């Protein structure tokens, strides 16, 4: 089903083909430039305000709970289609004192979300009563934000991973661009759900130490680097504990390209061609 011309009840007719002539006219006759000459125009139709596809995107984000907190991992690449356009974009963010947020998908939407969250945290801080939002509240806020935007047919094009610790309780959740949300002991977005989560299911334990959990994430980030073309070998890990949020400097891992399966990739897959 193609939803490009669908209008939810109460939606403003920005781009729909059924939109009234009035909406078109207000654009066509510019208040300063005067009557619009339709034979000479750089923009053939009224600008659409709705995101129909992403431009600059980040790939997978991984998250795991461990003994003393939660870890998130993502690389620092931002791709323009299949081009790895930016290589030092931070996709992890501290939200308040107890929460870290990681984003895959449209980078500009993530930056817009960051501004909203900063406002939220600042407004809360201004009460000066020591109250602050924990990961549960932030997760709920982000869910309402994402679902509200999908209801307006103007989605924020991200899958968000959110980790935090509050009152001795670890919390790890996901929100997608249409508002689907859930919590789990380990999560991953995009390719990570295919490549990293099976490894998590085999190797993750609730009583992992910080070192063990970092090693598990690094193993998965390497697998993603080998198999996901838009992943790069430069990434960051966010560590959330009762003490607060710490996001590491970007770093790289030792790679090995001499695996037998890499040298002769079709050996184990005899096909018809």
Partner 1 sequence: MSMVFAPRMAEAAPSSHAGASWSPYDNNGGTCVAIAGADYCVIAADTRMSTGFSILTRDYSKIHQITEKCVLASSGFQADVRSLQKNLDARHQIYQHQHNKQMSCPAMAQLLSNTLYYKRFFPYYAFNVLGGLDNEGKGCVYTYDAVGSYERSGYSSQGSGQTLIMPVLDNQLKSASPLVLPPRESSTPLTENEAVDLIKDTFASAAERDIYTGDGVEIVIINKDGIRRETMPLKRD
Q: Which of residues 71-130 bind partner 1 (CB under 8 A)?
A: 79, 81-82, 104
Q: Which is nearer to partner 1, 4 or 26 (CB)?
A: 4
Shortest gap between Cβ of 125 and partner 1 (angstroms)? 28
Q: Which is nearer to partner 1, 60 or 98 (CB)?
A: 60
- Closest to partner 1 by CB, 63 or 96: 63
d(CA 5, CA 102): 32
C-beta neighbour count of 139 within 10 angstroms: 25
Among 72, 177, 196, 214, contact with partner 1 (rule: CB under 8 A): 177
Q: Which among 56-64, 163-171, 215-223, 253-261 is the span making contact with partner 1, rule CB under 8 A?
A: 56-64
Structure letter (DSSP) for residue 251: B
Give least dist CB 54 to partner 1, A.
Answer: 7
Nearer to partner 1, 14 or 147 (CB): 147
- State the sign of the Cα–Cα–Cα–Cα dihedral 47, 52, 57, 61: positive
Distances in Å between the Cα of 190 and the Cα atoms of 22, 61, 108, 194 are 41, 8, 18, 7
With respect to partner 1, which residue has the nearer C-beta, 73 or 121?
73
Closest distance of CB 193 from partner 1, Å:
5
Strand partners, 172: 163
CA-CA distance, 218 to 203, in Å (whole number)? Answer: 13
For Cα atoms 225, 155, 63, give the angle at the middle one, nearest 5 degrees.
35
DSSP string, 145-181: HHHHHHHTT----EEEEEEEEETTEEEEEEE-TT--E
Please give the residues from 211 up to 230 whose contact with partner 1 meets the rule CB under 8 A.
228-230
- Cα dihedral value 32, 35, 41, 44, nearest 10: 100
Check if 98 is active-site: no
Minimum Å distance from CB 63 to partner 1?
A: 13
Binding site for partner 1 (CB under 8 A): 1-4, 8-9, 51-54, 57, 59-60, 79, 81-82, 104, 143, 147, 150-151, 153, 155, 159, 174, 176-184, 187, 189-191, 193-194, 228-230
Report the catalytic residues: 51
């Amino acid at each position: 089903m193609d939803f490009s011309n669908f209008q939810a009840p109460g939606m403003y007719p920005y781009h729909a083909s059924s939109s009234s002539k009035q909406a078109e006219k207000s654009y066509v006759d510019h208040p300063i430039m005067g009557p619009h000459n339709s034979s000479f125009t750089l923009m053939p139709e009224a600008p659409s305000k709705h995101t129909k596809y992403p431009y600059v995107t980040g790939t997978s984000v991984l998250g795991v709970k461990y003994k003393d907190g939660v870890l998130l991992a993502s690389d620092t690449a931002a791709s323009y289609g299949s081009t790895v356009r930016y290589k030092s974009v931070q996709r992890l963010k501290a939200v308040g004192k107890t929460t870290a947020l990681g984003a895959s998908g449209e980078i500009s939407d993530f930056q817009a979300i960051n501004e909203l969250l900063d406002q939220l945290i600042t407004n809360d801080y201004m009460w000066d009563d020591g109250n602050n939002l924990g990961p549960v509240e932030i997760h709920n806020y982000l869910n309402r934000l994402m679902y509200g935007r999908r209801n307006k047919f103007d989605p924020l094009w991200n899958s968000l991973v959110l980790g935090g610790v509050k009152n001795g309780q670890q919390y790890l959740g996901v929100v997608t661009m249409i508002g689907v949300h859930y919590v789990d002991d380990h999560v991953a977005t995009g390719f990570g759900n295919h490549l990293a989560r099976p490894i998590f299911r085999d190797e993750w334990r609730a009583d992992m130490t910080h070192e063990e959990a970092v090693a598990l994430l690094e193993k998965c980030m390497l697998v993603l680097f080998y198999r996901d073309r838009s992943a790069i070998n430069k990434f960051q890990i966010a560590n959330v504990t009762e003490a607060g949020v710490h996001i590491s400097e970007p770093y790289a891992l030792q790679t090995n390209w001499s695996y037998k399966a890499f040298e002769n990739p079709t050996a184990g897959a005899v096909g018809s061609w």
